Structure 1
Amino acid sequence: MGTIPKSSVGCVVVGGGPAGMVLGLLLARSGVEVAVLEKYPDFLRDFRGDTVHASTLGLLDELGLGDRFAALPQQREQRLTMQFDDGVVTEDFSRLPGRHQHIALVPQWDFLNLLADTAAASPNFHLAQDAEVNDLITVDGQVRGVRYLDKNTGDTHELTAPLVVAADGRHSTVRRLAGLQPRGSATPHDCLYIRIPRAAGDPDHTVLRFSATGGLIMINRGDYWQAALLIGKGTADFARADNAAWVRRTISRLAPYTADRMTALDPTTIASLEIRIDRLDQWWIPGALLIGDAAHAMSPIAGVGINLAIQDAVATARILLPALRRGHVTTKDLARVQRRRHWPTLLTQLAQERAQEHFVAASPTDDTHPPVPLRLPQPLRTLRHWSGFPHLFGRLVAFGLRPEHLTGPLKPLTHA
């Protein structure tokens, strides 16, 4: 399905990730005809963000989707323990207010399919997959829609709307077409994603290991681990060379119980992620708004990316719904969305930048020198002895700095 059966809608959303799908669902249920354009044929792509925090779990309850989400295959964590060379730091979610005293680690494709199936029940919702946006339609300096390629037929179509919302990720096509350039900050790490078979005797919980010999995060996927290995910036090709011998050696060192499975590791299945932290100074141009990673790429640290993007989507729907119902969205309306979401984004990114200074990425270009043990950062060495710190830390991670709710014009959705 790569074509929308309309030439004009109330809003075009580019990108069928968490932010795009939540925004499409909210607007469609609120009476705005919305089209979501997703360039891939389905949602089945591994190694995507999948950490769903309590802020998002609460939002799903407000949408009436809490029980359906709970039925998806997932790993629930009530506590997360970060193990350093000289101690541990715990995030404890057991005292969170509300219904959810945990975070959920769920394959993103299952989450997106749930949102798509729910949204499809509304006659106002249209989803086109294999639909790749390649141009913006502009009239007198204002975006009025998009041109997109139906990759099944090779045909190009035009779709007009009072508003185009770009939720198409850190490599946003709409951002490039709009001529917007994000402001980036230095990130010393990249990441390799690896599937590792699980075996009897392995831990059941998520593994967070930060050592002088590297950083490793492993999520329990039932019969396999979804593992993320921090590496030095720009060293992915070097790390995968020589049949990924260095990757096998490093993972065996950080998680010794996996060593017997490293010989079966298929190097062709190792994916890489260029870790970026960046943001736009202005998230909009007349007729178009950027949200989620398209406006502010987040580091994987603390798994906040999905949750911040969804909060952007909720704020966008709530603030712009009256204007979309009128069929005319002004630049003042768009600026209100950025004002609402700018400070939580900025402060979260600053926290990520500080945190990454204390994580060591394994470096395949320098694998011979004896490592100096990685010590906990000084504030954590002190705070971890305070009994309330794990709960405060967990609350900050679980809810973020400005969780969004279905209030104001979106409130009737709770009864939909």
Structure 2
Amino acid sequence: MMKIAIAGAGPTGVTLALMLVQRGISVTLVEAASDFHRIFRGEGLMPSGLNALSEMGLSEILEQIPHRQLDAWEFILNKKSLFRVDEPIEADTQPCTLVSQPPLLEKLILEAQKYNHFEFIQGVAVKDLLSIDHRVAGIKLADGREIAADIVIGADGRNSIIRQRAGLKLEQQPKTMDLLWFKLAANPRFVADNVFSAIGDGENAFAVFHGAEPGKLHLGWTLTADQNIQKISEITKTEWAKKFASISPSWLAEHFLNHADSIEKPIKLSVIVGLCPSWHTSGVLLLGDAAHPMSPIRAQGINVALRDVIVTVNHLVPALLAEADNKQIDRVFSKIQKEREPEIIRIQQLQKEEGRQHELLPKNLFLRKIVFKLARLVSKAVRLSWIQRQRKMRQGVTQVKLEV
């Protein structure tokens, strides 16, 4: 039996491992973190991601873990609502759903552990690649262990060690922003009507919504590339509450000020967007953020990664079961990239276009004045334009179906 080593037990690595072991492939999955709760993990599943889980037969698992649907998207400019769009949007049959990743990953690991040919190593980082005759033949762990493998798959995120050790290049887009990610006490209004609220005044902006975790609001404060903010650790909870409140409608401003003590220490998310010209080399394949880190706009990372998994399984499983030789396996890697790359390129373009919409106001004082003055008059047109731009980011650019 051919053996696969997967680095990274996020949604990409865990779902791929499960799909492979269910089809008789031996897998060792390695995760550097000692648990799934210590790092930031995106929660947004668009219809494309929900469909991918359905294709993999994993929809029922969502019902067993904390999750919450979004009810609407609302854009608030200068403390007034510009427009609102209810979920599901247009032809979508299901709304965007927020899922708590740690219990999702734990459930999927438990499913994979039902198979004797699955091994999970947690709390140990991959340090290097092993090679035989100029072909990658396994991984070396930080504790000195060496794991032989016919194929190594890097699903270890935007700072992928596998990508670095394999000498694969990531071409990054220019950085336009970073995010500060907060959690704080939920407002009952979000519990009853979970609206993803994008709030700004032309210079500052944040998004806030009720996450999958009960009783918690998630808030992402945008740090633009040219924004000079004082040392984050020196800003008090009360000062953050005042910042949030200063650009919020009155009911939400009151909530921030009254619940300042509940604001948790923010996580700074360094936004990296890019694409590897080649996702593979001899014996190695990159998937998900390791191959194409995505912008946080519209939560595309987890959704496109799940679609990567389906295409990989479609191409790789038949080759592995047929005991394909090394050259055939490498050609399969090329086919996977060829099928997935067009969607990734297009989604990143759409994210970039969406990002430009948010960059216009801070850079143009005259435009800000015009928009604030005419906001009510143009809201219908702006709403329609926004809906049209979301379609492919929600549904995917290409059709992806599990075939094996």
TM-score by length of 1: 0.83
Q: Equivalents in 1 of 2:247, 2:162: separation in Å?
A: 40
Give the match for residue 182 of structure 1.
170
Q: CA deviation at 1:60?
A: 2.6
Q: CA deviation at 1:28?
A: 0.6
1:239 and 1:247 in contact (8 A); partners too: no
Which of residues 134, 147, 150 is equivalent to 2:140?
147
Q: Equivalents in 2 of 1:88, 1:270: separation in Å?
A: 29
2:287 and 2:305 in contact (8 A); partners too: yes
Ranges in structure 2 where 5+ consecutive residues have no aligned partner: none
2:272 and 2:294 in contact (8 A); partners too: yes
Paired amino acid for 1:10: K
Paired amino acid for 1:206: V
Q: Does 1:312 align with 2:302?
A: no
Q: Equivalents in 2 of 1:50, 1:312: separation in Å?
A: 18
Which of residues 198, 217, 224 is equivalent to 1:225?
217
Deviations 1:161-208 (A, max 9, x none): 111000000011111111222111113211001111124455631332
Q: Equivalents in 2 of 1:345, 1:158: separation in Å?
A: 33
Give the match for residue 406 of structure 1.
402
> Residue 136 of structure 2: SS of its match in structure 1?
strand
Which of residues 45, 48, 54 is equivalent to 1:55?
48
1:10 and 1:324 in contact (8 A); partners too: no
Give the match for residue 130 of structure 2.
137
Segment of structure 1 superposing worse, 108-117 or 285-294? 108-117
Segment of structure 1 superposing worse, 87-96 or 310-319? 87-96
2:190 and 2:209 in contact (8 A); partners too: no
Structure with greater helix share of residues: 2
> Residue 402 of structure 1: SS of its match in structure 2?
coil
Q: Equivalents in 2 of 1:339, 1:251: separation in Å?
A: 44
Segment of structure 1 superposing worse, 249-258 or 230-239? 230-239
Q: Equivalents in 1 of 2:366, 2:123: separation in Å?
A: 50
Q: Any residues of structure 2 matched to 1:10-409 within 5 Å, and which?
A: 10-45=3-38, 47-85=40-78, 87-88=82-83, 90=85, 92-93=87-88, 95-96=90-91, 100-149=93-142, 155-201=143-189, 204-211=193-200, 212-221=202-211, 222-233=214-225, 235=228, 238-243=231-236, 247-255=240-248, 256-261=253-258, 263-264=260-261, 269-325=265-321, 326=323, 328-329=325-326, 330-360=329-359, 372=368, 375=371, 384-385=380-381, 395-407=391-403
Q: CA deviation at 1:258?
A: 2.9
> Residue 90 of structure 1: SS of its match in structure 2?
strand
Q: Equivalents in 1 of 2:118, 2:349: separation in Å?
A: 36
Q: CA deviation at 1:383?
A: 9.7
Segment of structure 1 superposing worse, 384-393 or 28-37? 384-393
> Residue 180 of structure 1: SS of its match in structure 2?
coil
Q: Equivalents in 2 of 1:361, 1:133: separation in Å?
A: 42
Paired amino acid for 2:99: V
2:195 and 2:209 in contact (8 A); partners too: yes
Q: Equivalents in 2 of 1:15, 1:62: separation in Å?
A: 22
Paired amino acid for 1:305: G
Ranges in structure 1 where 5+ consecutive residues have no aligned partner: 1-7, 150-154, 411-416
Q: Equivalents in 2 of 1:126, 1:92: separation in Å?
A: 40
Deviations 1:70-123 (A, max 9, x none): 2322110243233345722636425545xx511110111122112112222222
Deviations 1:232-289 (A, max 9, x none): 237566344343665333211233133324642567x211001121111111111001
1:202 and 1:257 in contact (8 A); partners too: no
> Residue 338 of structure 2: SS of its match in structure 1?
helix
Q: CA 1:392–1:357 in 2, change beyond 3 Å: closer, same or farther?
A: closer
Paired amino acid for 2:194: H
* RMSD, matched Cα: 3.2
Q: CA deviation at 1:372?
A: 3.5
> Residue 357 of structure 2: SS of its match in structure 1?
coil
Q: Equivalents in 2 of 1:185, 1:58: separation in Å?
A: 29
Aligned residues: 386
Q: Equivalents in 2 of 1:386, 1:249: separation in Å?
A: 29
Q: CA 1:171–1:200 in 2, change beyond 3 Å: closer, same or farther?
A: same
TM-score by length of 2: 0.85
Q: CA deviation at 1:127?
A: 1.3
**Structure with more relative contact order (C-alpha pairs < 8 Å, separation 6 or more):** 1
Segment of structure 1 superposing worse, 118-127 or 13-22? 118-127
Q: Equivalents in 1 of 2:66, 2:345: separation in Å?
A: 33
Segment of structure 1 superposing worse, 191-200 or 255-264? 255-264
Segment of structure 1 superposing worse, 189-198 or 42-51? 42-51
Q: Equivalents in 1 of 2:303, 2:165: separation in Å?
A: 26
Segment of structure 1 superposing worse, 186-195 or 231-240? 231-240
Segment of structure 1 superposing worse, 283-292 or 219-228? 219-228
Percent identity of equivalent pairs: 22
